[in-house]
Amino acid sequence: MPRFVIEPLGDDAVAAVRRVAEGLDLAGGVGDAVFLKPNFTYPFPKAGVTTTRPVLEAVVQVLSDLGCGRICIGEGEGGYNAFAMDETFAAFSLDELTARYGVEVVNASNWPSLEVRVEGRRGTYDVHLPKPLYEEFDSFISLPVPKVHCMTGISGAVKNEWGIVQDQMRLAFHCAFEEIITEVVDRLPNPYALVDGTFGLTRNGPMIEGETIDLGWVAGADDLWLADAVLCRIMDVPLRSVAHLRYGLDRGRVPALDAAELPEDLDEFLDDRFYLKRNLWNRVAKLTWYSPRLNHLVYFSKASSAHHKVMYSIREKPDELSARGVDWQ
């Protein structure tokens, strides 16, 4: 029976993560080599957007205490305005975790590739995944943040794995997002989710136009799909309104909540502050998820560069990016 565990974060992130780890029996199942996939979808720490540094370090410390001999933190680059992942690693001071715990920090985009052909409803796609992840690790732990997402509805334990797709312009794969993300998750070695509920993101997401809300919890599951099904309940989001979760549900990936082991106090964590308000930019971009031709026109045709210059001249650059000199085009 799949399990979901949730604990108040309090003032001691290590203690909270340790309670979640005990609830999932990580000591008996995680193995020696563990790959951690945080949500680093922004070039520096941002509450409600990225995995927090305290929870990330708490996970590393708990795994180290469990005797894991190889702990690797990895994230990949990608997107139209991709920032350098090495700069992001520096912004999160991951070198300190290397010095303290011997953690490996890798840009998964630079690892040797495993090419996977995915048959989607709107075409066939050759997707590149980091080969060592699938061959060298005993377990995989997704470290998402509970947030709304203007394209997918929510971003959680399953959506977080989009970051390990190595193709720089993986925007081209949005027309087959449900099929590809399912294939990526199906191949993961012994996956777990540890959800960083320090903060959440509401109104818009996944990055710059949302509102941060304080949550104050950490959760875990031994099934990524279950983690997201429970997140939908916590966030008051109908599961079937999230296309990739609906796809997984219809194909037997998402366990029924009444067939899972859930905490008795789960209702205490239900939160009605989550909602999604898409803007005009979001609605235009969303169209590229349904039409391969439009996707190509927007991102890969001769008109792409001019199109994006116009769009980015209209879309205001966040002050926080300007202040740090982060490129916006």
14, part of any domain = yes
pLDDT for the residue numbered 272: 98
Angle between helices 243-250 and 224-235 (to 10 degrees): 130
What's the CATH code of the domain at 86?
Answer: 3.40.50
132, part of any domain = yes
326, part of any domain = no
313, part of any domain = no
Residues 6+ apart with CB under 8 A from 293: none
pLDDT for the residue numbered 113: 97
pLDDT for the residue numbered 329: 45
303, part of any domain = no
Domain that holds residue 71: 4-290
pLDDT for the residue numbered 47: 98
Q: Can you give the pLDDT of all 329 residues of the chain as single tens digits? A: 999 999 999 999 999 999 999 999 999 999 999 999 999 999 999 999 999 999 999 999 999 999 999 999 999 986 555 678 999 999 999 999 999 999 999 999 999 999 999 998 888 999 999 999 999 999 999 999 999 999 999 999 999 999 999 987 788 899 999 999 999 999 999 999 999 999 999 999 998 889 999 999 999 999 999 999 999 999 999 999 999 999 999 999 999 999 999 999 999 999 999 999 999 889 988 888 888 888 878 777 877 777 666 666 655 556 666 555 555 44
* 21 SS3 class: helix
311, part of any domain = no
63, part of any domain = yes
Distance of CA 311 to the CA centre of its chain: 26
324, part of any domain = no
Distance CA 317, CA 196 (A): 27
User: How many distinct structural domains can be found in the chain?
Assistant: 1
* pTM of this prediction exceeds 0.85: yes
Dihedral in degrees, nearest 10, Cα atoms 38, 39, 45, 46: -140
DSSP β-bridge partners for residue 302:
none
